[in-house]
Amino acid sequence: MEIIPAIDLLEGRCVRLYQGDYARSQVFNDNPIEVAHQWVEQGATRLHVVDLDGAKQGYPVNTKTIAEIVQAIPIPVQVGGGLRDRSGVTQLLDTGVERVILGTAAVEDQPFVEQLCQEFPGKIVVGIDARQGKVATRGWLETSEVVATELAQQMTNLGVAAIIYTDIHRDGTLVGPNVDTLRELASKVSIPVIASGGVSSITDLLSLLALEPLDVTGVIIGRALYTGDISLKEAIQAVGSGRLQDVPPDLGFSTFA
Q: What is the CATH number of the domain that holds 67?
A: 3.20.20.70
Q: Taking 50 as the threshold, does the pLDDT of residue 246 lie above it?
A: no
Range in 89-98, 131-140, 212-221 the model is least confident about: 131-140
Q: Taking 90 as the threshold, does the pLDDT of residue 49 lie above it?
A: yes
Structure confidence at residue 26 as a pLDDT band (50, 70, 90): confident
How far apart CA 73 and CA 117 sit, in angstroms, is: 26
How far apart CA 219 and CA 199 sit, in angstroms, is: 9
pLDDT given for residue 170 in this prediction: 59
State the alpha helices, DSSP H only, in the chain: 32-41, 52-57, 63-72, 86-94, 104-108, 110-119, 148-158, 179-187, 202-209, 223-227, 232-239
* Residues 14, 16, 20, 22, Cα dihedral to 10°: -60
Q: Taking 80 as the threshold, does the pLDDT of residue 248 lie above it?
A: no
pTM (whole model) above 0.85:
yes
C-alpha 116 chain-centroid distance: 20
Condensed to tens digits (0 to 9), the pLDDT of residues 203-244 reads: 899 889 888 778 899 999 998 999 999 999 999 998 864 444
Residue 161 · residue 113 · CB < 8 Å: no
pLDDT given for residue 254 in this prediction: 26
| Ramachandran assignment for 124, one of left (phi > 0), alpha (psi -120 to 50 degrees), beta (any other) | beta
How far apart CA 174 and CA 169 sit, in angstroms, is: 10
Which residue type sits at 243?
R
pLDDT given for residue 32 in this prediction: 96
Asked whether residue 245 is domain-assigned, the answer is: no
Catalytic residue among 51, 53, 129, 167: 129
Asked whether residue 257 is domain-assigned, the answer is: no
Q: Taking 70 as the threshold, does the pLDDT of residue 173 lie above it?
A: no
pLDDT given for residue 55 in this prediction: 87
CA-nearest of 62, 74, 76 to 11 is 62
Residue 37 · residue 49 · CB < 8 Å: no
pLDDT given for residue 172 in this prediction: 54
Asked whether residue 225 is domain-assigned, the answer is: yes
Catalytic status, residue 21: no
Catalytic status, residue 167: no
Q: How many CB atoms lie within 10 A of CB 64?
A: 11
Mean pLDDT of the chain: 86
How far apart CA 121 and CA 117 sit, in angstroms, is: 5
Range in 10-19, 49-58, 106-115, 147-156 the model is least confident about: 10-19
Asked whether residue 244 is domain-assigned, the answer is: no
Asked whether residue 110 is domain-assigned, the answer is: yes
The domain in which residue 64 lies consists of: 2-239
CA-nearest of 172, 145, 152, 144 to 20 is 172
Asked whether residue 246 is domain-assigned, the answer is: no
* Higher per-residue pLDDT: 200 or 72: 72
Residues 6+ away with beta carbon under 8 Å from 96: 67, 70, 71, 77
Structure confidence at residue 171 as a pLDDT band (50, 70, 90): low
* Higher per-residue pLDDT: 164 or 20: 164
What is the domain count for the chain?
Answer: 1
Asked whether residue 233 is domain-assigned, the answer is: yes
Asked whether residue 74 is domain-assigned, the answer is: yes
Residue 15 · residue 22 · CB < 8 Å: no
